[in-house]
């Protein structure tokens, strides 16, 4: 199946699955604001999770857990608390490629444009930034799916939508303050993840 069609189908599917859960209740505008922000963060987390699931399917034959050599740090790119940090997902194998290396650039940008349009408060950016600060040994499977598309490059092109998310991962790896960098978002990663029970069933079926 064409990469562009496959990934776009997954993102479209998560929109359809999330739609019944994303209706804003009738409230005052002030009360609706945090709800809308949580709603946007939930959609973005779901979309990014499905993108990660697609990429994981391409690497299904490789080791998918643990962090080789995390104990001594991770080449200086870990979080500010001495943890290993995502480090570009290098513990998943040096030949693991990020999504921009397996997908046509224009199609990738179109996909991340759709994500960014929902991520108006930067909750998706804060989410991947904070997850990238965690030692990979302690990432859940769902959290790992969210990070798989990224290497976290310092020279990420932030003029592109994908580059903004990849740079957010870099900030997390370096231990930079995600809540300050993405201050429009009121929700830390743990809160966003609590509201998005990512469905990996389709990913497993895709692998089979």
Q: Give the mean pLDDT per block of 10 residues along the chain (208 residues).
A: 47 44 42 52 66 58 42 44 56 53 78 84 92 89 86 91 93 95 92 65 39
Q: pLDDT at position 66, please?
A: 40
When divided into structural domains, the chain yields a total of 1
Q: pLDDT at position 106, please?
A: 84
**Residue 7 belongs to a domain:** no
**Residue 78 belongs to a domain:** yes
Q: pLDDT at position 167, please?
A: 95
Contacts of range 55-61, beta carbons closer than 8 Å, 24 or more positions apart: 55/98, 55/99, 55/102, 55/148, 55/149, 56/145, 56/148, 56/203, 57/203, 57/206, 57/207, 58/102, 59/92, 59/93, 59/96, 60/207
**Residue 157 belongs to a domain:** yes
**Residue 142 belongs to a domain:** yes
What domain range is 151 assigned to?
A: 39-57+72-207
Q: pLDDT at position 192, please?
A: 83
């Amino acid at each position: 199946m064409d990469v562009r069609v496959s990934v776009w189908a997954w993102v479209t599917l998560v929109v359809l699955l999330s739609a019944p859960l994303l209706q804003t209740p009738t409230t005052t505008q002030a009360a609706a604001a945090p709800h809308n922000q949580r709603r946007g963060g939930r959609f973005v987390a779901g979309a990014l999770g499905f993108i990660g699931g697609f990429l994981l399917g391409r690497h299904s034959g490789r080791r998918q857990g643990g962090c080789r050599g995390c104990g001594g740090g991770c080449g200086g790119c870990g979080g500010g608390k001495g943890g290993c940090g995502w480090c570009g997902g290098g513990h998943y194998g040096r030949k693991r490629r990020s999504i921009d290396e397996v997908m046509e650039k224009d199609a990738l940008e179109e996909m991340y444009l759709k994500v960014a349009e929902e991520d108006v408060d930067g909750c998706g950016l804060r989410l991947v930034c904070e997850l990238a600060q965690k030692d990979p040994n302690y990432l859940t499977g769902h959290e790992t799916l969210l990070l798989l598309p990224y290497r976290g490059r310092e020279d990420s092109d932030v003029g592109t939508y994908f580059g903004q998310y990849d740079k957010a991962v870099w900030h997390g790896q370096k231990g930079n303050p995600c809540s300050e960098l993405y201050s429009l978002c009121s929700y830390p990663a743990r809160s966003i993840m609590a509201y998005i029970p990512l469905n990996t069933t389709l990913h497993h079926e895709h692998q089979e």
